[in-house]
Structure 1
Amino acid sequence: MSILVNKNSRVITQGMTGKTGQFHTRLCRDYGFGPECFVGGVNPKKAGQEWEGLPIFGTVKEARAKTGANVSVIYVPPAGAAAAIQEASDAGIELIVCITEGIPVMDMVKVRDHMKKTGSKSLLLGPNCPGIMTPGEINVGIMPAHIHRKGRIGVVSRSGTLTYEAVAQITALGLGQSTAIGIGGDPINGLKHIDVLKLFNDDPETDAVVMIGEIGGSDEETAAEWVKDHMKKPVVGFIAGVTAPAGKRMGHAGAIISGGTGTAEGKLAVMEACGIRTTRNPSEIGSLLQSVLSSKKE
């Protein structure tokens, strides 16, 4: 079991013929059920050609019609990435995974509004995210496959690097992951912590969740309030940026404390008040999870 992607997913790559798209499509196709899952790519200038046996289509709509694709992963450069998201949405792709970093905020505002106006049912993961991994089955994006192990712990994180850190610790403990998801750190993005937590809550093969946030915005607080009222499984949390000064952007475009809100301490306080066990040391995420699971058994 998993959430959002599994061995039955059918994936196309937008931007597959670029250097980055080729590199990661090749790695993902070589993992798990990748040879069956990855079914083609999109590049209007190279329609009708092939890349390493995968057909290249001129449009997402055509690619979906010919391959049955329900997932698209986007490596298109920043200037064209928002248009690529919109095209995938208009074509009815169920899950759009946008890896691209540096998309102009106004471009994403327009895409979000377009998806609302058209009643799009597409789910967007990202942009500026590492993607999604269901260990043993499928990897969509840029996550390093070797640190993952099939298991029953869900991981959701705004930070790509901290996704890997949490995954590696969980694997080292022998627990493994059901699905690991990087939601991205841009101010305008798709799936939020709360959306992913709802999916993990309903997944019968996820026993607990690691939730990683960072300074800026209020998504973590919103998710924590939902956890308090609805979550049936233990959640442990970490917030990056405890020492970040107000007004200074830290790495991600959305990671900025403004007007005294969005601080790490503020987020941690809300999470703890809502029953989420937290740590201020990223190296303790795994051991905290293990202690919570042990106390649950007792």
Structure 2
Amino acid sequence: MAALRGRSGWLLCSNPRLSPQPTGPRSFSTTLARASYDDTVHNLRIGKHTRVIYQGFTGRVATGNAKDSIAYGTNIVGGVTPGKEGEHLGLPLLPDLRKAKEQLKPDATAVFVAAPQCGKAIEEAIEAEIPLIVAVAEHIPLHDIMRVTSILKTQSKSRLVGANAPGIIAPIGYCRIGFQPLPTFRPGHIGIVAKSGTLSYEAVASISRAELGQSLCIGMGGDIVAGTNIVDGLKVFEADPETHGMVIVGEVGGRAEEDAAEWIKDYHRREKNPKPIAALVGGMNAKPGRIMGHAGAWAARGEHSAAEKYKILQDAGATMVDHPENFGAVMKEILAKSGRDVSKITGNPADQKRGYHTMSRRGMSSSSAAFRPTLSTPSRRPQHHQHQRGLVIRPSQGHAILEPYLENIKGLTLSTDEAPADAFYVGITVDRTERQPCIRTSPTTDVSTFRETAKRFPYDQRELPPDTLIQSAVQHINPPAGAEPLANLIRSLAKMYKDKEATTLSGSVTISPDGKVTLHANSMNLAFDDSAFRSGKRQAEIHNLRRKDREQPEEVEAEKDGIVYVRMDEPDANIGTLVNGAGLAMNTVDALRLHGGKALNFLDTGGKATSETVKKSFELILRDERVKVIFVNIFGGLTDGGMIADGILLAFKEVDMKNVPVVVRIRGTNEEVGQKKIAESGLDLEAFDKFDDAAKRVVEIARGGK
């Protein structure tokens, strides 16, 4: 990797020669440098003197978050609320980003704007050329984000973290842009990049207990498309002299972990003593075809499962862990094996020279250098009462949507006949690595070879795919006769994809010797982004096709309370799970299986569980007659351990627990308070500190033990 000295530190480039800047219908950057979005990874290197502003500064959530971040030591210099000007929290308040850019000279912006307006707010930050944009909001419509990422690819000034991400934090430098639970972090030398917030907090806590601490933690976020991915984080960690080891927290869905594995193999080839890397992949036992809490936690056709990703990362040279609680011990072990002096790495990094994290661009404040965090309250995050989930329409329901787009294509027939074995695959879906929609075609629909034969052809979300790209996609199929009806089918699916804000539109086609195309409607996968309706009130006609009466009743009811509940169908499963956070919930199901138990459900109470949601979660779990024991696994990052304990005690008072024993593991924020409340309750509850101890006890009870 080449490194060029820039005005704000080191500019990292994957190629010594900067690549040409791509063009598009709208390019915000006025720079003349022939660089690309990939070259903005250096903007992730935040520190004490990163100048941070807020968009949506005067909102309740932003205000509380800013107070916590200022107390931590973050260099917040002001913020923006449209139409308002003056002061807020004793800092400048400006009415628009243009004025904020001119007067405050920010290096980063924290976008605390609600999902319906968040895409536009990010675009404004790109137009203002803010170097780092951090978006924390959940439920931003997919096509809003794909529009944003298409714009990002036309410029080389701004870098996006998120959306639906906890943000980014540099404990060395005490700089937080996001809503991470501050008491969990410790300045140190391990870099972490993660899809899951709760899993990353568990990893952070483990590494803090091991006295290794963290240099930089990047929340990639769990959405389908992310502005910053795992490889971007690894590139920064490689070049950072303060980072001595790296941690990856992945999960089911997309190719980010596979891309990371390719980067690791290349890194090991070119470095004599590479920094050690440990990794975890959640969702090893994810239910096929279901979205596991996070909008992006689903595997598309032909994508590797979480178990396969685990093996791919392991084969690339990463040391794999099965639970984030183990990261601290594992990192110490692999650091020592690499020949590094662990005793120096576990020393107090706050007293060490901090490299780029303390390099001031605009002067240094001596008073902030001695700050040590003493916060004990959980951070605040925007709250929503629905979880993002996909809306899949049955092929029989989709005819009315499809027909207007297909009726004028000559040589195309829409058939209800089953697709034959020799059919071709055609679709429009998301290329998560390229952060764009793509045409996807394959000369076969055979599951055993589809992964090798299918090919993606990404294009700009703001436009329909160009004819040359469509022809390339058609040629990949190698049709037996004329291809014009097939090309028109792809054009029509691409238009429908954009008009209806779909996530995937695909199906099987056959082509006759005379060039006529048959689309087999019963093979169609018609999946749409329901956040377009839930957040943006768009696509009501699509959303109204949802048949809740055909869904699992508990899953539909859970959704009303902001809970994600997925019933696991294995008949011998008998462990109910109650977890806060989708990634942690997936990993809990996985880890129980490793201990010999089987979870009967996936349940995510949300990143900010409350007493009432805990009570409701118990009610949902107890409806399943298979349940023999309930495992409550809470990491108190955003969630207060004492409040979770109150919720459990409330459930015992108001819910018929049916003599089902409950095992509780509470860690993180106010964990001692929660554990004490459980232990002193006098109820049929068992409290544990370590996950392994709790999991073993749960499995013992599930097998009939007392």
Is the structural similarity TM-score above 0.5? yes
Aligned partner of residue 179 in structure 1, secondary structure: strand
CA distance in 2, matches of 1:216, 1:141: 24
CA distance in 1, matches of 2:49, 2:122: 22
CA distance in 1, matches of 2:234, 2:103: 33
CA distance in 2, matches of 1:213, 1:116: 24
Aligned length, in residue pairs: 293
Aligned partner of residue 13 in structure 1, secondary structure: strand
CA distance in 2, matches of 1:112, 1:179: 24
The answer on 1:132 being equivalent to 2:168 is yes
- 2:224 aligned to which of 183, 187, 190: 187
The answer on 1:44 being equivalent to 2:101 is no
Query: What does 1:19-38 align with in structure 2 at a 5 Å threshold?
Result: 19-32=60-73, 34=74, 37-38=75-76
CA distance in 2, matches of 1:271, 1:44: 45
CA gap of 1:212–1:192, structure 2 versus 1, over 3 A, is: same
What per-residue deviation string (whole Å, max 9, x for no partner) do you get for residues 105-164 of structure 1? Answer: 0111111122334x2420100000111111142111101111111111111101111111
What per-residue deviation string (whole Å, max 9, x for no partner) do you get for residues 44-76 of structure 1? Answer: 122x12211112111112101101111001110
CA distance in 1, matches of 2:218, 2:51: 18
Aligned partner of residue 247 in structure 1, secondary structure: coil
Partner of 2:296: 254
4+ residue runs over 3 A deviation: none
- 1:241 aligned to which of 254, 258, 283: 283
What per-residue deviation string (whole Å, max 9, x for no partner) do you get for residues 232-252 of structure 1? Answer: 211100011111011110111
- Between 193-202 and 282-291, the greater mean CA deviation after superposition: 282-291
Partner of 2:185: 148
Partner of 1:123: 159
The one-letter code of the counterpart of 1:195 is D
The one-letter code of the counterpart of 1:122 is S
Aligned partner of residue 153 in structure 1, secondary structure: strand
The one-letter code of the counterpart of 1:79 is P
Partner of 1:171: 208
The one-letter code of the counterpart of 1:156 is V
Partner of 1:267: 309
What per-residue deviation string (whole Å, max 9, x for no partner) do you get for residues 254-287 of structure 1? Answer: 1102225241111111101100010222322222
- Between 255-264 and 130-139, the greater mean CA deviation after superposition: 255-264
The one-letter code of the counterpart of 1:61 is R
Q: Is the 8 A contact 1:234 1:292 kept in 2?
A: yes
Partner of 1:285: 327
Q: Is the 8 A contact 1:216 1:254 kept in 2?
A: yes
The one-letter code of the counterpart of 1:7 is K
- Between 99-108 and 262-271, the greater mean CA deviation after superposition: 262-271
Cα RMSD over matched residues?
Answer: 1.6
CA distance in 1, matches of 2:103, 2:197: 33
The answer on 1:12 being equivalent to 2:47 is no
CA distance in 1, matches of 2:299, 2:322: 18
Query: What does 1:14-93 align with in structure 2 at a 5 Å threshold?
Result: 14-32=55-73, 34=74, 37-46=75-84, 48-93=85-130
Scaled by the length of structure 1, what TM-score is found? 0.94
Q: Is the 8 A contact 2:163 2:226 kept in 1?
A: yes
CA distance in 1, matches of 2:126, 2:222: 21
The answer on 1:276 being equivalent to 2:318 is yes
Structure 2, unpaired ranges of 5+:
1-8, 10-41, 269-273, 341-706
CA gap of 1:287–1:260, structure 2 versus 1, over 3 A, is: farther
Partner of 2:495: none
The one-letter code of the counterpart of 1:224 is A
CA distance in 2, matches of 1:286, 1:255: 26
Aligned partner of residue 211 in structure 1, secondary structure: strand
CA distance in 2, matches of 1:26, 1:221: 39
The answer on 1:295 being equivalent to 2:333 is no
Shift in Å at residue 189 of structure 1? 1.5
Partner of 2:421: none
Q: Is the 8 A contact 1:214 1:264 kept in 2?
A: yes
Aligned partner of residue 328 in structure 2, secondary structure: helix
What per-residue deviation string (whole Å, max 9, x for no partner) do you get for residues 3-42 of structure 1? Answer: 521011001001111111111111101112x2xx101111
Shift in Å at residue 289 of structure 1? 1.5
Scaled by the length of structure 2, what TM-score is found? 0.41
CA distance in 1, matches of 2:232, 2:59: 31
Aligned partner of residue 140 in structure 1, secondary structure: strand
The one-letter code of the counterpart of 1:235 is I
Structure 1, unpaired ranges of 5+:
none
Aligned partner of residue 297 in structure 1, secondary structure: coil
Q: Is the 8 A contact 1:12 1:71 kept in 2?
A: yes
Higher relative contact order (CA 8 A, sep 6+): 1
Q: Is the 8 A contact 1:238 1:285 kept in 2?
A: no
CA distance in 1, matches of 2:252, 2:315: 18
What per-residue deviation string (whole Å, max 9, x for no partner) do you get for residues 69-88 of structure 1? Answer: 11001110000000011000
Q: Is the 8 A contact 1:246 1:258 kept in 2?
A: no
